[in-house]
Amino acid sequence: MYHPAKILRLYQPSDKGVLSSKPTSQALVTMWDQHMATVDIDLDILKDIVIGDIALVDYSPISDTLSTPRQIITAVLKGELGTEIWAEYDRYFKTRLQPPVLPPVQPPFRQPSPYHG
């Protein structure tokens, strides 16, 4: 499973102000459902990512026995493709926020009382 995300910021071990125990890079992203996260970036695509790109974050389980998601950027959707995918997810998200349309509430049925005249 993959989640589209927009790149907000990149963190690399060589950046000023970053002290890292690993040679990996991370990105601050906003997900399609407006959640924010800091995720790893696959080294094979690190040089191709820029702020504002739309990326795919791998959410598949880290193993068959652990359901924890990988949370690593494995693809970047450049240009028109990224824009279209982001817009499609945005439309879907906004429809999920709409309250459901419920039928009008009917007053309870009341049995007429017998005539006592």
For position 2, what pLDDT does the model report? 93
Tokens of 111: 């049995």
Instruction: Could you please state the CATH topology (level 3) that the domain comprising 2-96 is classified under.
Output: OB fold (Dihydrolipoamide Acetyltransferase, E2P) (2.40.50)
> Could you write out the DSSP letters of every residue in 37-79?
EEEEE-TTTGGG--TT-EEEEE-SBSSSS---B--EEEEEE-H
Q: Are 5 and 73 in contact (CB under 8 A)?
A: yes
Q: Per-residue confidence at 17, pLDDT binned at 50, 70, 90?
A: confident
pLDDT digits (tens, 9 = 90+) for 46-70: 999 999 999 999 999 999 999 999 9
How large is the average pLDDT for residues 68-89? 95
Q: How does the average pLDDT of the chain come out, rounded?
A: 89
What predicted TM-score, i.e. pTM, was given to this entire model?
0.76
If you average pLDDT over each of 54-58, 89-93, 98-102, 108-112, which comes out highest? 54-58
Q: Per-residue confidence at 77, pLDDT binned at 50, 70, 90?
A: very high
Tokens of 28: 């601050």
What residue spans of the chain are helical by DSSP H?
79-97
pLDDT digits (tens, 9 = 90+) for 18-40: 888 888 899 999 999 989 999 99
Tokens 């068959």 map to which residue?
64
Residue extents of the structural domains in the chain: 2-96
